[in-house]
Each structure stands twice: as structure tokens, then as C-alpha cells.
Amino acid sequence: MQPSTIRDFIVGLFVLAGLGAIAYLSIQVGGLSYKGPGGLELIASFDEIGGLAARAPVAISGVKVGQVAKVELDPNLRARVTLDLDSSLVLPVDTTASIRTSGLLGDQFIALEPGGGDSLLKDGDEIEYTESALSIERLIGKFVHDSGVESGPDKTNKAEKADKAEKE
């Protein structure tokens, strides 16, 4: 078999195209993007962030308008979340940021709900109104402890106590 420079060149082009496609898909799946400088950066503090991490989406009415830039602990031991938003956004000062879950077992994201105030948030401002992540463990714990059933050697449940009170 004789070497063919045209065939080798075409095979090389296909290999390069394949490697380029793999690199592009890896970057897209990883969520890496370069928007350049000039995004609107806002801060929000939460008591509980659950599984929220950097690069989590930020949405208004289900439309992605930015992402979480970083998550850190502030001096008051609250989670301080830096949001990198679209620079064309105009948000009132009374905007609310809440941590939500997409789907039943989905990833967490920040939902922004614009308020009706006249003054606007500027780059570097802090969102005052926040709603922390819902903790399933805390809900189950509250349900178990507040179910109305008391146990122990000298304790009866609430229904038995009510029956005794009616008889007396």
C-alpha cells in the first residue's frame, strides 16, 4: 500500500474536528463560560444554603439571568453568596432572593423576585430580603416532635388527656 498524502490529510482533519467537538462538549457540560468583565455583582446572606454551590444558576421567573460566583462564611457565621448577574438587569432594592430546588431531587438555584421599589440595586449592593433553603431533615424533625404523641412512664397522649378532661 502506497502512502497517500491527501488521504492522510483528510484523516488528520477528521481527528482534529473530533477533538474540537470533544473539547467544546466538555466545556459546555462543565458550565464554564467567559462573559467578560462588567457583570452586575450582588451579595445575599442566608442562614442555610443547603447544597448550593458556586456556578449554580440564578433565575427570575424561571429565566436564567446569572450564576453564583462564590459562597463563603461572613463574620456573623452566615452564608454570604456572591451573585454574578447580567449587567443589563434593573432590580429594585426590595428584591427577594430565595434558594429553591429544581424538581424533587434536583439541584438548588437562587430565585430572584423583583419588588416594587423605586430605588435600584447597584453593583456590589446586598439583597436585604432572603429566604434560606428548605431543609427536609428539619421538617421531618418538626413533624416527629410535634406529632402530639408523648411517651414515657407517666405521660399519655393528647387524645387521652382530652377524654379525661371531658369526664371531669
Q: Which residue do the cell numbers 488528520 mark?
A: 12
The pLDDT value recorded for residue 161 is 58
Residue 51's pLDDT band (boundaries 50, 70, 90)?
confident
Query: In terms of pTM, does the model score above 0.75?
Result: no
Query: Under DSSP, is residue 35 helix (H, G, I), strand (E, B) or coil?
Result: coil
The pLDDT value recorded for residue 167 is 60
Please determine, for residue 142, whether its predicted confidence score (pLDDT) is greater than 90. Answer: no
Please determine, for residue 111, whether its predicted confidence score (pLDDT) is greater than 90. Answer: yes
Please determine, for residue 104, whether its predicted confidence score (pLDDT) is greater than 90. Answer: no
C-alpha to C-alpha distances, 23 to 16, 17, 32, 165, nearest whole angstrom: 11, 10, 12, 74
Which of 29-33, 81-85, 101-105, 160-164 shows the lowest mean pLDDT across its residues? 160-164
Residue 2's pLDDT band (boundaries 50, 70, 90)?
confident
Which of 14-28, 107-121, 126-140, 152-166 shows the lowest mean pLDDT across its residues? 152-166
C-alpha to C-alpha distance for 2 and 166, rounded to whole angstroms = 105
Domain ranges of the chain: 1-32, 40-136
β-pair partners for 72: 80
Q: What is the mean pLDDT of the chain?
A: 83
Provide the pairing of β-strand 79-85 with 96-101. unpaired
Residue 148's pLDDT band (boundaries 50, 70, 90)?
low
The pLDDT value recorded for residue 22 is 94
Cell of 70: 462564590
Q: How far is CA 65 from the centre of its chain?
A: 13
Q: What is the pLDDT of residues 58-103, one digit of tens each?
A: 999 989 999 999 999 999 999 999 999 988 889 999 999 999 988 7
